[in-house]
Amino acid sequence: MVGDTGKVHHPVFARMFTRLSAHTEEKGGADHRRDMLAGLSGRVVEVGAGHGLNFAHYPSGVEEVLAVEPERYLRGLAETAAMRAPVRVRVVEGLADDLPLEDASVDAGVASQVLCSVPDQRSALAELRRVIRPGGELRFYEHVASDKPRIAKLQRVAEKSGFWPFVGGGCHPARDTAAAIEAGGFEIESCRRFDFRPALVEIVVEPRILGVVRR
């Protein structure tokens, strides 16, 4: 049963993100996605697949990707991207905290630029842990709260203003996502932290983490 995806409607963000992402990918975003997915195999669920930026980077060892995306406009673009993917990708409607999967039914999960915008990180991570088999992986590439005082303050102001979450599709830039992942019952194998600002406007989401955790 699909959750209430009708509440996920971000027309401004969906169109703005698809336009800006080409520049971001050229400046290094595509390399980050490749690094995140390298060596992945088996059956995979990707939450918040957006318009399918990860699809081209899945390695041949992946048998199938179930790409879950609640936003209608982005989901339509993802369906088109899935047809060009090097592996089988099935795009479905759904929410991160209500995945259309049985317990322990996938080998890996992928969360990429999505844990900033889910309503409840704890619920989304618990749902990922539910569907990933014991010993399986969660690969992640997310922006997080800054440890630089000036940027951290800017993130808090942007979040409290309400403007950034509106234009950012519900994005909360001041979240400590690495801590949330670890608190969700995953064992961290690797977590690389770095700054990435392909455009000035992205100073609010400059700090990134990329890594692997084990179920």
Residue with tokens 């971000």: 10
What pLDDT is recorded for position 165? Answer: 84
Count other C-beta atoms under 10 Å from residue 16's C-beta: 14
pTM given for the model:
0.92
Q: What is the pLDDT of residues 139-182, one digit of tens each?
A: 999 999 999 999 999 999 998 988 888 888 889 999 999 999 99
- Output the CA–CA distances (angstroms, integers) from residue 124 to 62, 77, 145, 158, 203, in the order listed: 23, 23, 19, 23, 26
What pLDDT is recorded for position 22? Answer: 85
Regarding beta strands 132-143 and 207-214, do their DSSP bridges make them parallel or antiparallel, or are they unpaired? Answer: antiparallel
Q: Are 207 and 138 in contact (CB under 8 A)?
A: no
User: Residue 138 region, left (φ>0) first, then alpha (ψ -120 to 50), else beta?
Assistant: beta
10 Å CB burial of residue 197 (0-12, 13-18, 19+) is middle
Domains of the chain: 5-214 (3.40.50.150)
Count other C-beta atoms under 10 Å from residue 77's C-beta: 19
What pLDDT is recorded for position 81? Answer: 98
Cα 190 from Cα 210, distance rounded (Å): 8
Cα 28 from Cα 11, distance rounded (Å): 26
Regarding beta strands 132-143 and 62-68, do their DSSP bridges make them parallel or antiparallel, or are they unpaired? Answer: unpaired
- Give the mean pLDDT per block of 10 residues along the chain (215 residues): 58 73 90 98 98 98 98 95 98 97 99 96 98 99 96 93 84 95 96 90 90 98
What pLDDT is recorded for position 7? Answer: 61
